[in-house]
Amino acid sequence: MNYHYGKRTDGFHRTLYSIDFAEIKHPKEVKLSNPYYNSGKKFVFGKLNDFYVLRISYGRFKILYDKFDKGGISINRFYQAGVSIGIEKPVYYLVIYPTEDPYRKILREEKFNYSMHRITDIYSKAPYFDHIGETQFVPGIFFRYGFSFDFSDNSYVINSLFGGAQIDLFPKEIEIMGNTDNSNYFLSLFVGYRFGKASQKRINYSE
């Protein structure tokens, strides 16, 4: 999710302010299910934390090629930097334990332990909001660079495609998975569609 606000400084430049909220996943995340219990929900085996990031940023926007005719496309460049607030929410599993009755099992909520748990030990993921009080916040920084292509016909309406690259940096390793390497930085490519309304009509030199 993204909220984006731009303020024009001259005919070709704007200052940018934005707020983002996103989930970051480890590339090794794969949803599986216990082969002996079909009624259990799928889960990511080995996951320690769900990881979300709230980004608050400031940046600059420059029009590289303006559109002079209706139906034209404006090509723009932008860059942003700001604060990333990482949110580590612990993941718990419903782990299967036997009883004296061979037809009866009990389930206990536990965090993943690579030395103890196997896929056949896990029934499903525990309810999402259980243990949410153990959530931790990790402050960091991020940088973003990209291009946008504005194709709206109306000078008061914003319709554009945008894309680029960004990196989030944190002071410690973010433990998303328990059975593979984790990292303190996340490099990603992004593409999106932006729509909105301009509070002031853009300059159109063809009028």
Q: Which residues have CB under 8 Å from 3's CB, separation 6+?
A: 18, 19
Residue ranges of domains in the chain: 2-197
Q: Which residues have CB under 8 Å from 167's CB, separation 6+?
A: 142, 143, 185, 186, 187, 188
Average pLDDT over all residues of the chain? 88
Nearest to 89 by CA among 7, 176, 156: 176
pLDDT band at 18 (very low <50, low <70, confident <90, very high): very high
Q: Strand locations in 38-104, DSSP E?
A: 43-44, 49-65, 74-90, 93-98
pLDDT of residue 155: 66
pLDDT of residue 38: 78
Predicted TM-score (pTM) above 0.75: yes
What whole-number percentage of the chain has pLDDT above 90? 62
